[in-house]
Amino acid sequence: MSSATAGAPIKCKAMVARGPKQPMVEEEITVMPPQAGEVRVKVIANALCHTDIYTLDGHDPEGLFPCILGHEAGCVVESVGEGVTSVKPGDHVIPCYTPQCCETTCVFCQSPKTNLCPKIRGTQGQGVMPDGTVRFKDKDGKDIFHFMGCSTMSEYTVIAEISCAKINPDAALEKVCLFGCGISTGLGAVWNTCKVETNSTVAVFGLGAVGLSVIQGAKIAGAIKIIAVDVNPKKFEIAKQLGATDCVNPKDIDKPIQQHIAGVMTQWGVDYSFDCTGKTEIMRAALECCHRGWGTSCIIGVAASGHEISTRPFQLVTGRVWKGTAFGGFKSRSQVPVLVERNLRGDLDIDHYITHRFKGVGETNAAVDALHSGDCLRAVVEY
């Protein structure tokens, strides 16, 4: 695969977001060769995540246009830049928006407390590669920005070596691409960020793919009571299949949902709660339904720019803890491959998240429509 194209520009199809609140446009672009420390990959499949839509709809303060969105994908390495040693052409990889440089001087990579490696955070947020330039050109030779260090709504893309999680080639890329964002985030929020114990009680707000993966993770962790909260009761069936013991629609309750959970469904509240909605009023409800003395609430959903959280300080004085998670606390290059292995062994099923499939990069807008429909968990587009 690499011999014919290595070192040369590649022309391919990509979905280009020209501006906020505009449908993406299928265009022929040129993907330049990888530079030092970079990897060019052929994207096999890309799953849509609400973060892509968040940026496309103009809510992302770091959103830059024109850009190529996408960050939840399964890829095959086409060629590598100078100095790249951890992957080679033909390897199967999952691009990860949270890199892992593994350098001994990186206090973040060396700490077991976090996965927030800042090595390329500055340039990634500016829509460029670590050297400050881009690898995408449109048909007129003009630059196209990168997105979250991934830009996988393109048949080929260039990513940093430290963003490549090398995985078992036996795994189906059109399935395990989900480990590139949402599913890992939900599982990790339970296992890494909160470390939910056996016999715990849990409340999950928002039953999209992330919320359902929280439920799945809590069930695996041994939680004995898992309360699923959503205003769409159509989601309750799959929530129960994944481990929810109770389902509640706040619209059916005549009091604030936190009071119902802490006073009716439990005696003192739940041990752990998770917000998977990105809505600040729900974040407050999730905290306030937590157990007096030790309850922990984890924010997973990304709120719109400028929004702030609030609660009475007394909620924290009386023992509750408010925390957040990014990519579920997983260190990408070392731990995503482990998730893939668990899936291959059959003890971490993710098939149920893929509700819609499309063929060809040009079908990405149809996948966006599916994600907006309300009955879509993950739409996967195979290239």
pLDDT single digits (tens) 9-26:
999 999 999 999 999 999
Give the pLDDT band (50/70/90) at residue 302. confident
Q: What is the pLDDT of residues 132-184, one digit of tens each?
A: 999 999 999 999 999 999 999 999 999 999 999 999 999 999 999 999 999 99
- Classified as helix, coil or strand, 274 is strand
Averaged pLDDT for residues 53-68: 89
DSSP states of 49-79:
-HHHHHHHTT--TT--SSB-----EEEEEEE
Q: Is the pTM value of this prediction over 0.85?
A: yes
Q: What is the mean pLDDT of the chain?
A: 96
Closest CA to 144 of 133, 130, 155: 133
For tokens 């959103």, name the residue. Answer: 63
pLDDT at 242 over 50: yes
Cis peptide leading into residue 66 (ω within 30°): yes
- For the beta carbon of residue 11, count every other beta carbon within 10 angstroms: 12
How far apart (Å, rounded) are the C-alpha atoms in residues 290 and 283?
A: 11
What residues contact residue 373 under an 8 Å CB cut-off, 6+ apart?
none
At residue 304's C-alpha, the angle toward residues 303 and 307, to 5°, is 80
Q: How confident is the model at residue 58 (pLDDT cuts 50, 70, 90)?
A: confident
The dihedral through the CA atoms of 347, 353, 359, 360 has a sign that is: negative
pLDDT digits (tens, 9 = 90+) for 24-52: 999 999 999 999 999 999 999 999 998 99
Per-residue pLDDT at 3: 60
Among 353, 368, 356, residue whose Cα is nearest residue 183: 353
Q: Which residue has the tokens 């023992």?
A: 319
Decide which of 62 and 298 is more confident. Answer: 298
Contact indicator for 16, 68 with CB cutoff of 8 Å: yes
What pLDDT, on the 0 to 100 scale, is given for residue 326?
97
Residue 331's CB is within 10 A of a number of other CB atoms, namely 25
- Residues involved in catalysis: 49-51, 71-72, 101, 106, 109, 117, 121, 181, 378
Q: Are 241 and 219 in contact (CB under 8 A)?
A: no
Q: Which residue has the tokens 């999680």?
A: 165
Residue that is written with structure tokens 């007394």 in the block: 314
Q: What integer pLDDT is reported at residue 317 of this predicted model?
A: 98
Distances (CA, A) of 21 to 52, 63, 127: 12, 12, 19
Residue 1 has pLDDT above 60, yes or no: no
Across 279-302, average pLDDT: 97
Q: What is the pLDDT of residue 372?
A: 85
Residue 216 banded pLDDT, cuts 50, 70, 90:
very high
Asked whether the beta carbons of 2 and 91 are under 8 A apart, the reply is: no
**Token reading at 304:** 């719109």
Q: Above 70 in pLDDT, residue 2?
A: no
Q: Which residue has the higher pLDDT, 63 or 214?
A: 214
CA distance 124 to 107: 19
